[in-house]
Amino acid sequence: MITVASCSSSLLPSLQSLPGFLFKSRTFFYFHQIQNPQRFCKLFTQKRFHNALLSPQSSLQFPSHPNPDILLSYLISAVSSCSSISYCRAIHSCVIKSFNYTDGFIGDQLVSCYARLGGADDARNMFDEMPNKDLVSWNSLISGFARRGYVDKCLDAFFRMKFEMGIEPNEVTLISITSACASRGAVDEGKYIHGFALKLGVLWEVKLVNSLINLYGKSGYLDAVCRLVETMPVGNIVSWNLMIASHAQNGTAADGVGYFNLMRRAGINPDDGTVLSLLEACENLGLLKLAEGVHGLITKCGLYANATVATGLLDLYAKLGRLNYSLKVFREVNNPDKVAWTAMLAGYAVHGNGREAMELFEGMVKAGVEPDHVTFTHLLSACSHSGLVKEGKNYFDIMSQVYGIEPRLDHYSCMVDLLGRSGLLNDAYELIKCMPLKPNSAVWGALFGACRVYGNIELGKEVAERLFSLDPSDSRNYIMLSNMYSAAGLWRDASKVRALMKEKGLIRNPGCSFIEHGNKIHRFAVGDRSHPESEKIYTKLEEVIGKIREAGFVSKTEFILHDVEQAVKEDMISKHSEKLAIAFGLLVTNAGMPIIITKNLRICGDCHSTAKLISLIEKRTIIIRDSKRFHHFAAGICSCGDYW
């Protein structure tokens, strides 16, 4: 490596023209003795230095001899490490004084830097001023725009290059454009580039094919993904990883796992990208055994030390209901970073472990890890799910006062939820009105949920109107308002809301519960008799319902929001999907195993009470994840403290 130490002492006279503070700086004055280029670049982009360079009084002229290539190499390094447009302009001015744009591709580097930092106009102006522009120059401009996702600017430069200048693009050009298309979901533009690549005859280039796979996969065009893989001459690990990820992201995670098995049969060893795609597939499938298999693969392949992989694993376990597994993985991570701490905090939040989340946060701060806005979102959510109003208010205050993090919509949503769940509806409403940001559907939805729980029809109707105007197509808001009216006995108003839904063509999402058994997910709906073991399931359900009724349980038929007879209500509520899944779990799992169930909607009050008593009488742990959080039922108690 060429270092500044090799420069001739004849460079030193040029330093006499530096402003006083730089000339007196021992670090810069002896820069010819520095062995580390990064230190030079860091000094070069200091604010005072670049201001001095831009000053009209500055007479700084870097020498063109005896070794201008040495200084040029450092300028190029400074450009690549540049972190702001103003710094880039400072280096630009230095180049104007001492070099030609064509020297060492410095012009290309500056163009790419401006574009990378979001200075599209600066990049374009700089590029237009360059006297000699070749394919590398055009690729620098296009790749810079691509990193920012400027699809239109990429295509504009592409058309200028080809049709105005007559320069033929290469695979590097096309990879940059397809990457930009993938980041913005610009499928039609990507298809055009795909066709152009076909005509140009460069689809043999694996990196280009991979970029097209990424584009089509993110856009849900799985048929196009498969055709590309089948026709590419030689794939690599990236190709396989993209295949797995594409299927995991588009609802066909089982096919993604199948491609992983094909990859192994082809003798290709997985890497961290493979494992991360598999973890995503596991989350979508909800299969704990598959997750445990991936865990074993991680250990076998020596990827456990990878913080990103370990974080993905602990996050997966938390989402599958095994928080104890998550904590074990977290404790085995050496020097966990901010993402790992935040993932563990998120796990505590969704399981309603507010006190544990607070302890973890304090441990994170003591470890010297700086929390960010995502950390505080999960911390406030944990306080909300545990009813920790005082603590939540304190964290909301110190977030800005101590850590300088301005509250975002997610934070306000958590605070409204925290206040609303505690019955402080007026305080929650006042907070929304005082927000410096325009409240979104999540913020209003948090207050709407509290209105439902506490039966505040008047405020609930006002909030519902706000939600209808923000998102007229969200059926959940209409259903919640209808349920509020029904719970209050306002059947005519409830009927009007349902008629409005029908008029808008909105369909209610039916409640379903899911449970894993035998490497398969079993689905149950209310009153469902489609399962092969349906007779045994209903027999078991009648048995346990009989036991809890003997213990004094009375069905909470007020949760049946239909104007029907009491006997009909009792029959309807006894066949809810959660109850069927619990009965199935009791039939097929061993006594020492927890019964883990996932539901797509909120758990109703009757099913919540039923699960508590079944856990007591059957001496079983039942874990139910609804659309908002986990409920851990054991010995007749729920982890949420009946607070959800």
- How is 236-275 classified by DSSP, letter by letter? -HHHHHHHHHHHHHTT-HHHHHHHHHHHHHTTPPP-HHHH
C-beta atoms surrounding 605 within 10 Å: 15
Note the Cα 306 to chain centre separation in Å: 19
Strands 630-634 and 622-625, bridge-based pairing: antiparallel
Stated as kind and residue range, the H or E segment containing 462 is helix 457-470
pLDDT of residue 62: 44
pLDDT of residue 67: 53
Q: Which residues contact 277 (CB under 8 A, 6 or more apart)?
A: 241, 244, 245, 248, 256, 260
Note the Cα 315 to chain centre separation in Å: 12
- Higher per-residue confidence, 9 vs 86: 86
Least confident of 38-42, 57-61, 152-156, 360-364: 57-61
Q: Which residues contact 243 (CB under 8 A, 6 or more apart)?
A: 213, 217, 225, 229, 256, 259
Nearest residue to 445 (alpha-carbon basis) of 421, 598, 387, 436: 421
Question: Which of 19-28, 137-146, 458-467 tops mean pLDDT?
Answer: 458-467
Task: Give 563-569 contacts, CB < 8 A, sequence gap 24+.
Answer: 563/486, 563/491
630-634 sheet: strands from edge to edge = 521-525, 512-516, 595-599, 622-625, 630-634, 637-638
pLDDT of residue 73: 66
The DSSP result for 525-563, as a single string, is ETT---STTHHHHHHHHHHHHHHHHHTT----GGG--SS
The amino acid that residue 285 corresponds to is L
pLDDT confidence bin for 567, thresholds 50/70/90: low
Q: Can you tell me the distance from the alpha carbon of 513 to that of 524, in angstroms, rounded to the nearest whole number?
A: 5
pLDDT of residue 556: 61
pLDDT of residue 127: 82
Nearest residue to 179 (alpha-carbon basis) of 205, 202, 156, 212: 212
Structure tokens at 7: 């420069």
pLDDT of residue 103: 53
pLDDT confidence bin for 71, thresholds 50/70/90: low
pLDDT of residue 487: 81
pLDDT of residue 430: 96
Q: Residue written as tokens 């883990």?
A: 596
Percentage of the residues of the chain whose pLDDT score is greater than 90: 51
Least confident of 92-106, 500-514, 536-550: 92-106
Q: Can you tell me the distance from the alpha carbon of 368 to that of 465, in angstroms, rounded to the nearest whole number?
A: 46
List, for residues 423-482, the tens digit of each pLDDT value: 999 999 999 999 999 999 999 999 999 998 888 999 999 999 999 999 998 998 998 898
Least confident of 472-486, 560-574, 589-603: 560-574
The DSSP result for 412-429, as a single string, is HHHHHHHHHHTT-HHHHH
- Higher per-residue confidence, 63 vs 592: 592
Q: Can you tell me the distance from the alpha carbon of 276 to that of 43, in angstroms, rounded to the nearest whole number?
A: 38
**Average pLDDT, integer, range 234-261:** 90
Q: Can you tell me the distance from the alpha carbon of 334 to that of 318, in angstroms, rounded to the nearest whole number?
A: 19
Least confident of 11-25, 118-132, 367-381, 402-416: 11-25
Q: Can you tell me the distance from the alpha carbon of 514 to that of 581, in angstroms, rounded to the nearest whole number?
A: 7
Residue 521, phi then psi, degrees to nearest 5? -95, 125
Enumerate the β-bridge partners of residue 622. 595, 633
Structure tokens at 478: 């209409």
pLDDT higher than threshold 60 for residue 35: no
pLDDT of residue 105: 67
Nearest residue to 246 (alpha-carbon basis) of 182, 184, 289: 182
**Average pLDDT, integer, range 77-97:** 73
Structure tokens at 162: 């080809």
Nearest residue to 58 (alpha-carbon basis) of 29, 26, 31, 94: 94
Helix, strand, coil proportions of the chain in percent (round to 5)? 65, 5, 30
Q: Cis before residue 66, ω within 30 degrees of 0?
A: yes
Distances, alpha carbon 353 to alpha carbons 360, 380, 608, in Å: 11, 12, 18
- Higher per-residue confidence, 310 vs 92: 310
Q: Which residues contact 304 (CB under 8 A, 6 or more apart)?
A: 298, 310, 332
Nearest residue to 606 (alpha-carbon basis) of 563, 570, 639: 570
Nearest residue to 275 (alpha-carbon basis) of 214, 323, 316: 316
List, for residues 256-311, the tens digit of each pLDDT value: 999 999 898 888 899 999 999 999 999 988 888 899 999 999 999 888 889 999 99
Enumerate the β-bridge partners of residue 436. none
**Average pLDDT, integer, range 333-356:** 94
Strands 622-625 and 595-599, bridge-based pairing: parallel
pLDDT higher than threshold 60 for residue 400: yes
Residue 604, phi then psi, degrees to nearest 5? -85, 165
pLDDT confidence bin for 7, thresholds 50/70/90: very low
Residue 304, phi then psi, degrees to nearest 5? -65, -30
Q: Can you tell me the distance from the alpha carbon of 195 to that of 218, in angstroms, rounded to the nearest whole number?
A: 19
Stated as kind and residue range, the H or E segment containing 633 is strand 630-634
pLDDT of residue 1: 30
pLDDT of residue 33: 33
Residue 623's SS3 state is strand
Least confident of 43-47, 92-96, 368-372, 602-606: 43-47
Tell me the residue length of the chain: 644
**Average pLDDT, integer, range 536-557:** 86
Nearest residue to 215 (alpha-carbon basis) of 135, 149, 307: 149
pLDDT confidence bin for 192, thresholds 50/70/90: very high
Nearest residue to 450 (alpha-carbon basis) of 358, 377, 387: 387
What is the four-CA torsion angle of 441, 442, 446, 447, rounded to 10 degrees?
A: -30
- Higher per-residue confidence, 85 vs 415: 415
**Average pLDDT, integer, range 242-248:** 92
Question: Does residue 459 contact residue 484 with C-beta atoms inside 8 Å?
Answer: no
Q: Can you tell me the distance from the alpha carbon of 49 to that of 53, in angstroms, rounded to the nearest whole number?
A: 6
- Higher per-residue confidence, 287 vs 120: 287
pLDDT of residue 82: 73
The amino acid that residue 31 corresponds to is F
